[in-house]
Amino acid sequence: MRRRDYKEFAPGVSYHIYNRGNGKMDIFRDEQDYLNFLRRLRIALGKSQGATSSIRLTPFDPSFFSLIAYCLMPNHFHFQIKQCGEVPLGKLLLKVCTSYSMYFNKKYDHVGHVFQDQFKAVPIQTDGQAIALSAYIHQNPKVARFADAPEQWAYSSYQDYIGSRHGNLIDPSFILTQFTDRKAYKAFVDESFEDILEYKNIGKLILD
């Protein structure tokens, strides 16, 4: 994974970060893969509460980054994440993806890059864009026909948003405070499906 210019990132700014498998290959091939990537992400964000002796990964201070939403798909991932301090998001991505690549290569006897050389990072400039992006990320499994509804996909933050799971990996507070309650947010995500499917409103957020 090629190092990015860390000067591109700024404190207090949220980003849509995404990347996919090298050559569009599947990077998550079974449940263990999804969980191992999320475990590394949790450790790196400084939010691991259990034993992590099997994964050699030095965590960042929990105040450095705030993960707002995420979705892991078989051949790519999406993060909506805020850089809270001076440590650039590129360092977090490098740490997580390098560790996961080592796991993946060993498990599948794979040689070479696991991820595309450069992840994409799009700054989020408005509250409306932030809300729309969270819906897009959570609708990914339905758009790709891996699930009939976003809540059926276990490898995204949507279950945390609608209250059917209560983890500490994400901070959904900003998005949820834009709605009267979780049901209203769910309704918004459900209603966004057709626009997302047809790339009407937030097509620039689509992973090419």
* Chain segment 20-46, per-residue pLDDT in tens: 999 999 999 999 999 999 999 999 999
Q: Does residue 18 lie within any of the structural domains?
A: yes
Q: Does residue 1 lie within any of the structural domains?
A: no
Query: For 138-174, what is each residue's pLDDT tens digit?
Result: 999 999 999 999 999 999 999 999 999 998 999 999 9
Average pLDDT over residues 110-128: 91
pLDDT, position 206: 43
Domain count, the chain: 1
Q: Does residue 91 lie within any of the structural domains?
A: yes
Q: Does residue 12 lie within any of the structural domains?
A: yes
Q: Does residue 2 lie within any of the structural domains?
A: no
pLDDT, position 56: 83
Model confidence band, residue 205 (pLDDT cutoffs 50, 70, 90): very low
CATH code of residue 181: 3.30.70.1290
Q: Strands 65-73 and 76-83: what pairing?
A: antiparallel
Residue ranges making up the domain that contains 163: 8-205
Model confidence band, residue 52 (pLDDT cutoffs 50, 70, 90): low
Model confidence band, residue 53 (pLDDT cutoffs 50, 70, 90): low
Mean residue pLDDT across the chain: 90
Average pLDDT over residues 97-103: 96
Instruction: Compute the distance between CA of residue 162 and CA of residue 183 in angstroms, rounded to an integer.
Output: 7
pLDDT, position 55: 84
Q: Does residue 3 lie within any of the structural domains?
A: no
**Is pLDDT of 5 > 90?**
no
pLDDT, position 46: 94
Q: Answer whether 0.85 is exceeded by the pTM.
A: yes
Q: Does residue 132 lie within any of the structural domains?
A: yes
Paired residues of 156 in beta bridges: 71
pLDDT, position 18: 94
Model confidence band, residue 19 (pLDDT cutoffs 50, 70, 90): very high
Higher pLDDT, 51 or 102: 102
Q: Does residue 133 lie within any of the structural domains?
A: yes
